[in-house]
Structure 1
Amino acid sequence: MDVQKAFLLILTGLLTVVAWLMVRPFLGYILASVLLAFMLHPVHKKTRKYLGDSISSITVVLLAVLAAIIPLTLASAAVVNDASDLSEDLNSTDVVNTTVLEEQFHRYTGQDIDIERLTEETTNRFTSLVFGNFSRILNVVGNMFIGFTLMTFLSYYLLKDGDSFIRWVKDLTPVSENIQSDLYDQINRSTWAVLKGHVLVAVIQGAVAGIGLAATGVPNAVFWTFVMIMLGFIPIIGTAGVWVPAVGYLVLVGRVNAAILLFLYGTIMVGLVDNIVRPLAVDRSANIHPAVIIIGVLGGLHIFGAIGLFIGPVVLGALKSILMVFTRYYTRS
């Protein structure tokens, strides 16, 4: 092997390892910035005709960040407040008579339970898992601030210089132009299928189901709405993982009419979101199997944290697109 070529290969390998170590802690935010730029590109494409690339990019990104941060901040404050009051609400005789609940549960199931003990254990575990100690909270908040700042700047540059970046990637990719076009088209479809058919539907389903909980008087409806939105990303469980037990809760406390209303509301209204909104939002030719979504959500959460809810399914959708294109061009013979 040529000495000069060997030197360049070794140097490239070393620098690649160093670059990976630098990028790895922020990989989730980097992928999130790519996803954000992807979603904002249609808007940027229209506005840059009037504002130019730089002004259009920074305006679109800042508006998107503000539009996301303000509602998320308010929602997070409401969820945390609701979560902190959950244990007290469940144990308060003014809200829930635990003795009545225990008697009703024994009547229907024949089993004895200690609701106060179970509630205390569950709340402690939840608090420990989600919030941890104070130093951990500061560490998480600091990392999130750095990560979101990085994501904002990267999204700006991806919008501003996105065309040049794509041309560079195309020049670097050692496959023909027609295969690349097919590949990018498939990835574009699969990504929008995940964003519109699963992320959007999960948020809408959770919000609609949350209205039903609030209307029928289920305590801590804001917190449970947040939980339903998270469960909405998991196709098998979905929002029913909360509103169905809520129906049982209403029966146990003697509010049978409210339980019937919530059951009908959940079956009809929440079901309509899945049966009507999802088909309208998803491109059937790029539909992602629910099993892929489950693996993507759980794997994304494990690797990237909360951002992985969105990144995980998108990554697996992109992998599916690559495999489809590879099969189409290289395995037919």
Structure 2
Amino acid sequence: MNSPQLQRGVFLALLAAVTVAFLWVLMPFFGAVLWGVALAILFTPLYKWLLRKMPGRRNVAALSTLTICLVIVILPLAMVGVSLVQEIALITQSIRSGQINFASYFQQILDATPQWLLNVVERFNLGDMAAWQARISAIAGQASQLIASQALAIGQNTFDFVVSFFVMLYLLYFLVRDGTTLSKTMRDALPLAKPHTHYLLNKFTTVIRATVKGNVAVAIAQGTIGGLAFWFLGVQGALLWAVLMAFLSLLPAVGAALIWGPVAIYYLATGHFWQGGVLIFIGVFVIGLVDNILRPVLVGKDTQMPDYIVLMSTIGGMAIFGINGFVIGPVIAALFMAAWSLFADSGHVGTGHAIEETAEAPKKDQDRA
């Protein structure tokens, strides 16, 4: 009854049960844990640099790292968030009062559209223009109601957000200070060959660092450029559109164009040619250049994943996990590719030496973990 096999089976069942229970307990703080881990990976090099400047003072170095993270990342985001809430309130009020009327804008575009183009649209059964105008009016009304309801929900969940925020900061401090020890403990505990464990953990940290650093840099650059262009052209709610462009820029290639493209079309259709030309130039040659240059350098180069994998995993991750998915999706895709690469290489060789040979490639990155 007390055979070693039975004892091992019971222990493994207990281990699985308590692991699932622990993850279940952490689920309410899933976002806080995720961003705590991501920021810790991102700012660990800074912590190590500070630790070299003040040897033996791990607590001071970790606290200094946390302070720098607050100043350059979290506080600016909080200030933008407060301004964004005010901007959303003004835009919602303008939509409800009719000052901003998307159906009217659409009608102006229709009036300026050549008849032959309208005939082509109708010939391909793309719908009646009057029906499209009615749909746009309905969508605008629903959008204003959705924005108002989401703003109310954010206000009601302020306490949960504050709690999660401080949980993230608390976790970030200890992950920065003890991250190296925790990483070593995890590598020793995982029931995998040590080179495989090194490879997978290094891939995990590399992808998170590249995804957060690259996508956030691209989003900030595109949102800032687009917002300044809208502000210069006198578009109402420039901050809101800037944030939307930054958010949509998480979708490679087409993201920000979903915002500036319709505005440029409206300018051209209503005879504001220089405004439309300026916006198209900025969108194609400045915002587009940022996406085409920065994203492959900061994201694709470090993750070593094709652009189409990055695109699909980002969209799929955001569809499942929301805003957190732009990190989770590429991480899952990278680990999927890394695990199958290890399996294929090990299967070809078929001996214990396959593990060592497979792990040679990432050996130069092992210190990152």
By the TM > 0.5 criterion, same fold? yes
Q: How far off its partner does 1:262 sit?
A: 0.9
Post-superposition shift, 1:44?
Answer: 0.4
Opposite residue 12 of structure 1, the aligned amino acid is: L
Aligned equivalents of 1:298, 1:256: Cα separation in 2: 34
Are 1:237 and 2:248 counterparts? no
Offset of 1:78 from its aligned partner?
A: 2.2
Residue 127 (structure 1) aligns with: 148
Structure 2 residue aligned with 1:64: 69
Report which stretch shifted further, 269-278 or 99-108: 99-108
Alpha-carbon distance change, 296 to 25 in structure 1, aligned in 2, over 3 angstroms: farther
Inter-partner Cα distance in structure 2 for 1:27 and 1:244? 35
Q: 1:11 to 1:121 in 2, by over 3 A?
A: closer
Give the residue type in structure 1 aligned to 2:45. P
Alignment correspondent of 2:197:
180
Match in the other structure for 1:8: 11
What corresponds to 2:338 in structure 1? Answer: 321
Aligned twin of 1:157: 174
Residue aligning to 1:75? 80
Does structure 2 retain, via aligned residues, the 8 Å contact 1:247–1:263?
yes
Given residue 260 of structure 2, which amino acid in structure 1 is its aligned partner?
W
1-structure distance, mates of 2:89, 2:328? 29
Change in 2 beyond 3 A, CA 1:93/1:317: same
- Hey, what's the Cα distance between the residues in 2 that align with 1:154 and 1:91? 43
Contact kept in structure 1, 2:108 and 2:270, CA below 8 Å = no
Consecutive unaligned residues in structure 1, runs of 5 or more: none
TM-score by length of 1: 0.85
Q: Distance in 2 between matches of 1:308 and 1:282?
A: 15
Q: Which residue of 2 aligns with 1:55?
A: 60
Cα pair distance change 1:315/1:31, threshold 3 Å: farther
Q: Which residue in the other structure is 1:199 paired with?
A: 216
Hey, what's the Cα distance between the residues in 2 that align with 1:212 and 1:234? 20
Q: Is the 8 A contact 1:191 1:314 kept in 2?
A: yes
Name the stretch that deviates more: 77-86 or 318-327.
318-327
Structure 2 partner of 1:216:
233
Q: Distance in 2 between matches of 1:273 and 1:10?
A: 50
| Residue 35 to residue 117, structure 1, CA distance change in 2 (3 Å) | closer
Q: Contact between 2:253 and 2:288, CA under 8 Å: does it hold in 1?
A: no
How many residue pairs get aligned? The number is: 329
Instruction: Return the TM-score normalized by structure 2.
Output: 0.77
TM superposition shift of 1:68: 2.4
d(CA) in 1 for partners of 2:258 and 2:158? 30
* Residue identity matched to 2:33: I
Q: Is the 8 A contact 2:84 2:239 kept in 1?
A: yes
CA contact (8 A) 2:318 2:326 kept: yes
Structure 1 contact 193–288 (Cα < 8 Å) conserved: no
Q: Structure 1 residues 26-35 or 10-19, which shifts more?
A: 10-19
State the Cα distance separating 1:276 from its structure 2 match.
Answer: 2.8
Q: Structure 2 vs 1, CA of residues 192 and 325 (structure 1 numbering), >3 Å: closer, same or farther?
A: farther
Which residue identity is paired with 2:171?
A: L
What's the RMSD between the two structures over aligned residues?
A: 3.0
Deviations along 1:177-209, whole A, 9 cap, x unmatched? 333333344334433332343332232122212
CA contact (8 A) 1:212 1:266 kept: no
Q: CA deviation at 1:58?
A: 1.9
Q: CA deviation at 1:54?
A: 1.4
What SS does the aligned partner of 1:161 have?
A: helix
> In the alignment, is residue 102 of structure 1 matched against residue 107 of structure 2?
yes
Deviations 1:285-331 (A, max 9, x none): 63333443344434444554433333333343333333333333344
SS of aligned partner of 1:175: coil
Specify the code of the residue in structure 1 equivalent to 2:141. Answer: E
State which of 257, 261, 270 in structure 1 corresponds to 2:287: 270
**2:90 pairs with one of 85, 89, 94:** 85
Change (3 A) 1:296 1:145: farther
Moved more, 233-242 or 34-43: 233-242
CA spacing shift, 1:7–1:273, aligned 2, 3 Å: closer
Distance 2:249 2:59 in 1: 37
CA contact (8 A) 1:87 1:120 kept: no
Matched, 1:22 2:25: yes
Q: What is the CA–CA distance in structure 2 between the aligned matches of 1:141 and 1:296, rounded to whole Å?
A: 30
Distance in 1, Cα, partners of 2:315 & 2:327: 10
Q: Give the unaligned 5+ runs of structure 2.
A: 119-128, 351-369
More off after superposition, 300-309 vs 193-202? 300-309
Please give the alpha-carbon distance, in whole angstroms, between the structure 1 residues aligned to 2:204 and 2:255: 26
Deviation at 1:25, TM superposition (A): 2.1
The offset of 1:221, in angstroms, is 1.1
